[in-house]
Amino acid sequence: MSVLPSEITTVQPGSSAIAEIPRPEYPRPDRDRSSRWVNLNGRWSFEADGYAGEITVPFAWESEASGVNRSWLEHGVYRRRVVAPEAWVGSRLVLSFGAVHHRAVVRIDGGVVGEHVGGYESFEFDVTDYLLPGIESELTVEVTAPADKRAVAHGKQRSIPRDDYDGVSFTPTSGIWQTVWLEARGRTYAQSVIVRGDSLTGLDVAVELAGDAPDGASVSARIVSTNEAIRLTTDAAGRASGRIELAAPRLWSPSDPHLYRIEVSTGDGEGADSVVAVTGLRRIEVRGEQLFLNGSRLYLRGILDQGYWPDTGLTAPTADALLRDIRLARDLGYNLVRKHLKFEEPIWLHEADRTGTLVWAEPACPSRFSEAAADAFDAQLPAMVERDGNHPSIVIWGLYNEEWGLDWDIPGSAARAAAAERAYDRLRGLDATRPIVENSGWSHVKSDLVDWHYYEPDLGEWRRAVARMASGEQETFPVRLGPDFIVDKSLYGSSEFPRTGVPIINSEYGEGFTSLERAWHLRWETQELRRHDRFAGYVYTEFADVEHEAAGLLTADRRAKDWGGCIPADVNADTVLVLDLVPLSAGADILPPTEPFGIDLRVSHHGDSALEATVHAAWVPAGSPVDELPEHDDASSGSVRVEPFRLSETVTVTVPPSGGAARLLIWLLDEQGRLSARAFLDAAEVEPPNRRGARAGEYTDSPLVGEA
């Protein structure tokens, strides 16, 4: 398919859109070979239908940063000259690609060195026989990126013809979209290093060698910080495995994200090979309806992040910008990021490891079902686990999302349900150390977690529905798939799936048209999830705006929005106040009280030990900052004791009238007088919406307050 005119547009060298050396950092700090590498990002020659000129790698050809800025190109050819350093004589040379969408054929001086299909996986080719150190050669990458993406894994990239979910799809990311680099390795080298620390006492190491003599080779695996080591001998397939037992194990956790660097070496002298892998000691477990990390109860407070950027698509413009996203998510109070339908770059995952940020990782989905599409989806999984499985931050593997690629019809199709089960089984065979969600949001048939996606604008109905979901009374919920297309989706895709004994997580929620409304819904919807101890966590949607989708807590360029006084870190704290009322509207939670009134509330506490505290409240002028507590309160409670992961008994605080529009600050102090939690209520008159001129019968007043 070609949707561009046939004439050629030529871009001259020196265009301001072309960056010199973008993304210069070594892309694999988690599997470090940075002592001998060459970054191949920057200007390449590029030819496509209707275009000939330059392109900046690693930015997709649809992006402004690439210098091409063309959508719906289906075929492009990249070229550049490469020279391996003369000092690499005697080494094996490996050409690595972070990601290329969708099919790449790689040539050096016209000879095909390899082909890769799949738009999100990293891949590499041993090019020792094609590239001589010190001699310039031509590197060519021919890329095919179909406009019709429905049968290939493409996540949120828009397709022609349209996806079923086109309304939440974005500009495609085609061609080379992650770093390309060349590195020198030993004559026999570690092609794969898998390290796991879920034993909590030692590091399990599995190595696969390639190169001159992988079978029967001696391999050393050594902890860099302690010199504790093991020596292994590979089998006929070049594989070896063993455990490094640790004399003083130090566990990885969000509060203490300790990492171990493991140097894996083989060979001697100039032909020796060495790579440093990184992991942590940690164990994630499902016990009944609860999650445990290293034996301690874990509650997930997550945010969904689609990993898109203005002007650069799925590629972060700089490493600093990418890593800053981790800090921003943590500043918003979240302990987990669900990286949505995308293998994020290893440097982002390494930063999650380093900072103790939990990650829910998942591949991109196709959009229409066929056996070929299901096979293409499954084909990503080995590469996902091999590249990213060492990261202790990843505590959940996701698979399909909302039956995308399964035609929204697991309950009605044995073949589609079987595809979801098959994906679960394949991933479980690749990695048995993490919980797996086979179909996020809807219709579970084989899953370690039951997660659900529910968007509800009526806070009264939200409160009631969440309570029914927690009790098990409700299994279905409405999903708007289009302006005139609403279906009832179920948590379960079959009658055989257990209704109890599996952790339950809401992994997508959020509402509101404006940023003020969205922050208002964030406050009230999240507190209802915290009201029910049965739930194991939540994932708010979403971190940042993407193109037309303005659902983010942050703008697309990661600026904070006007949250109307809401502090997301308070909403997502270990300890929160759960208020027993249904608010009226954004900016007017209650009408200004003219008489003293009582506020009933509870405390949800996810600390390590019980909390003894008192509740305080005070009126301040409307719009006053929430993080500036007054010197005196207008009311306080007696002492309340809160047990970890158990909602407290009801606490009632009686406050005086407000005397007009005002903000009621409510806060919790522990026995030492330290702030443990805070919330607020806005008291204001509610202006009925103006509906003059509406068609007769199409607008009726509705109650401002839902039933509590």
> What domains lie within the chain, and their CATH numbers?
9-185 (2.60.120.260), 199-281 (2.60.40.10), 285-572 (3.20.20.80), 578-683 (2.60.40.10)
Our CA dihedral for 185, 190, 194, 200, rounded to 10 degrees, sits at: -90
User: Which residue would you say has higher pLDDT here, 688 or 358?
Assistant: 358
The pLDDT value given to residue 7:
34
| Residues in a beta bridge with 662 | 621, 683
Q: Are 550 and 562 in contact (CB under 8 A)?
A: no
Residue 315 pLDDT greater than 60, yes or no: yes
Segment 560-587, tens digit of pLDDT: 999 999 999 999 999 999 999 999 999 9
The pLDDT value given to residue 702:
42
The pLDDT value given to residue 318:
98
Residue 19 pLDDT greater than 70, yes or no: no
The values of phi and psi at residue 311, to 5°, are 75, -15
Q: Give the residue-averaged pLDDT of 351-374.
A: 97
Residue 132 pLDDT greater than 90, yes or no: yes
Q: Are 317 and 288 in contact (CB under 8 A)?
A: no
Selection from 627, 619, 507, 514 nearest residue 571 by Cα: 627
- Listed in sequence order, the residues at least 6 apart from 283 whose beta carbon sits closer than 8 Å to its beta carbon are 198, 199, 200, 292, 293, 294, 295, 433
Confidence of residue 694 (pLDDT cuts 50, 70, 90): confident
Work out the percent of the chain whose per-residue pLDDT is above 90: 91
Determine what percent of the chain falls in helix, strand and coil, rounding each to the nearest 5: 15, 35, 50
Our CA dihedral for 605, 610, 612, 618, rounded to 10 degrees, sits at: -10
Residue 363 pLDDT greater than 90, yes or no: yes
Read off the DSSP letter of residue 157.
B
Distance (Å, rounded) from C-alpha 575 to C-alpha 580?
A: 16
Confidence of residue 5 (pLDDT cuts 50, 70, 90): very low
Segment 74-85, tens digit of pLDDT: 999 999 999 999
Residue 10 pLDDT greater than 50, yes or no: no
Selection from 109, 136, 141, 132 nearest residue 184 by Cα: 132
Q: Are 303 and 50 in contact (CB under 8 A)?
A: no
Residue 697 pLDDT greater than 70, yes or no: no
Q: Give the residue-averaged pLDDT of 224-244.
A: 98
Helix axis angle, 319-331 to 346-355, nearest 10°: 40
The pLDDT value given to residue 687:
87
| Residues in a beta bridge with 229 | 222
Residue 4 pLDDT greater than 70, yes or no: no
The pLDDT value given to residue 698:
54
Segment 423-460, tens digit of pLDDT: 999 999 999 999 999 999 999 999 999 999 999 999 99
Confidence of residue 27 (pLDDT cuts 50, 70, 90): very high
Length of the chain: 708
283-317: burial string, b at 16+ Cβ within 10 Å, e else: bbbbeebbbebbeeebbbbbbbbbbbbbebbbbbb
- Listed in sequence order, the residues at least 6 apart from 417 whose beta carbon sits closer than 8 Å to its beta carbon are 410, 411, 445, 493, 494
Q: Are 201 and 245 in contact (CB under 8 A)?
A: yes
Residue 16 pLDDT greater than 80, yes or no: no
Rounded to two decimals, the pTM is 0.94
Selection from 542, 47, 592, 91 nearest residue 339 by Cα: 542
Read off the DSSP letter of residue 251.
B
Segment 140-189, tens digit of pLDDT: 999 999 999 999 999 999 999 998 888 899 999 999 999 999 999 999 99
Residue 373 pLDDT greater than 50, yes or no: yes
Confidence of residue 688 (pLDDT cuts 50, 70, 90): confident
The pLDDT value given to residue 695:
80
Residue 708 pLDDT greater than 90, yes or no: no
The pLDDT value given to residue 700:
46
Distance (Å, rounded) from C-alpha 524 to C-alpha 457?
A: 11
The pLDDT value given to residue 690:
84
